[in-house]
Amino acid sequence: MVYDCILIGSGPVNLIEAMFLSKQGKKVLVLEQSEYIGGAWGKVPLKKGLPDFQLGCHIWDIEPKALNFLSEFLDMDLAKMKPQPEFVFRGIKLPYDWKNLLFYIRGMLRPKGEMESVSFNKARIIPAKYIYPAGGSLQFIDRLLDRTKDFGIEIRTGVKINKLEIGEFTKAISKRDVFHTKEIVITSVAQLKSISKNGEEFILPEPRLVNYIHCHLLINDLTAAKFSYARLPGNSLIHRVSDETDHVKTHGVGMKGKKLILAAVYPELYHKIGKEKTREHDYAELT
Ligand SMILES: Cc1cc2nc3c(=O)[nH]c(=O)nc-3n(C[C@H](O)[C@H](O)[C@H](O)COP(=O)(O)OP(=O)(O)OC[C@H]3O[C@@H](n4cnc5c(N)ncnc54)[C@H](O)[C@@H]3O)c2cc1C
C-alpha cells in the first residue's frame, strides 16, 4: 500500500499537519516510536489512582490565531496562568520573557536598511500573557486525538523509523516494516539514522538530548500558588518548576489539602548532591 503522506512523530505539530493533509483528501499515516502520542506534550501513565504525568509542556504564549484555533476547533478551556511565569536568577525574579526587551532595544539600534532579524520581529516591550489549558497539556493532546479520529487519520505507535530512502515512492524503514509514501513529513527533532537519495546515503548525527529527572512532589500546603511556572537558569540543580495542582483538580483528581509541584532536575547533580541538599539549595529561590 502506498500512502499519500507519512508523518514521522506524533507531536502536536505533526498531528495538526496530518489533519490539513487529510482535509486535502490525502491518505495519511502517523508513525510514533514510543507507546504514547503527543511527543513533548504527551504523558507517562503513573500507577493506578495517580494522575498521568505531563511530560514537557507547561506554558503557552498567547497568539491570537492560535487562541481561535484552540478554543473553536479544539473547544479548549484556557486559563490565564496565575501568577504569571517567572524567570528566577540567583533569587531575582523577572518576567518570563524579559529577554524580549533586549531584542527590542537591539532591533531599534540596528543600522537602517539592515535586514530585520527574527528576534526583532518577535520582540515586545510589554511582557506576554501566558495561558495554559485548564485541564493541563494532556487535554490538548486528547482533543487533538479526537479530531484526528474525525478525519480518519491512521496512527501507529511503537514504530521507530530508522532509515528513509527518498524516491518516486519514499520508503520509511523500521526494524520490522517498510512503509511506502509519496510525501514524507519529519519533525525537526526526529531521531533517524540515515537518509538516502539516488543511492547516496547521508548518515545523520546522534541527536543532542537533554535529560532531566522529573520529580513530582506532593506538598501539605494549600495556600495560594507562589508560582505557576518558573525557570531557574544558573541554578545548578533545578532547571524549572511548575505548580500542577489546578490542572490535576480539573482532571477530577482531588488533592486533599495538598499541592502537586513538578521539578525538572539535572540528573548528574541530583545523584551527586542528594535529596537533603536539594531542599536547602532551592527552596529559598522560590519563596
Ligand atoms: C522538556 C520540554 C519542555 C517544553 N516546554 C514547553 C512549554 O512549556 N511551552 C511550549 O510552547 N513549548 C515547550 N516545549 C517545546 C515544544 O514541546 C516543542 O516545540 C513541540 O513539542 C514540538 O513539536 P513537534 O511535533 O515538532 O515535536 P515533539 O513534540 O518533540 O514530537 C516528536 C515526536 O517524534 C517522535 N519521533 C522522533 N523520531 C522518531 C522516529 N525516528 N520514528 C518515529 N517517531 C519518532 C518522538 O518520539 C516524539 O513523539 C518543550 C520541550 C521540551 C523538550
Buried b (16+ CB within 10 A) or exposed e, 207-234: eeeeeeeeeeeeeeeeeebebbbbbbee
Q: Please work out whether the CB of residue 30 comes within 6 Å of at least one atom of ligand 1.
A: no
Q: How far is the CA of 59 from the centre of ligand 1 (A)?
A: 14
Most confident of 21-30, 60-69, 246-255: 21-30
User: What is the share, in percent, of the chain residues with pLDDT greater than 70?
Assistant: 84
Residue 108 pLDDT level (bands cut at 50, 70, 90): confident
Mean predicted confidence (pLDDT) in 45-54: 68
**Domains of the chain, CATH where assigned:** 2-59+137-203 (3.50.50.60), 85-128 (no CATH), 210-286 (no CATH)
Mean pLDDT of all residues in 15-32: 96
Contact call for residues 196 and 202 (beta carbons, < 8 A): yes
Q: 131 CB under 6 A from ligand 1?
A: no
Residues 6+ apart with CB under 8 A from 110: 116, 117, 120
pTM over 0.75: yes
Q: Whose CA is nearest to atom 10 of ligand 1?
A: 57
The predicted-structure confidence for 147-206, as pLDDT tens digits, reads as follows: 999 999 999 999 999 999 999 999 999 999 999 999 999 988 888 999 999 889 999 888
Task: Please report the atom of ligand 1 found closest to the CA of residue 192.
Answer: 41
109 CA from centroid of ligand 1 (Å)? 35
| Residue bearing the bigger pLDDT, 74 or 268 | 74
What is the best residue among 6, 13, 181 to mutate for testing ligand 1's pocket, by most ligand atoms within 8 Å of CB?
Answer: 13
pLDDT, tens digit, 9 for 90 and up, residues 122-149: 555 566 688 888 878 888 888 999 999 9
Q: Quick one: pLDDT at residue 114?
A: 60
The pLDDT value recorded for residue 182 is: 97
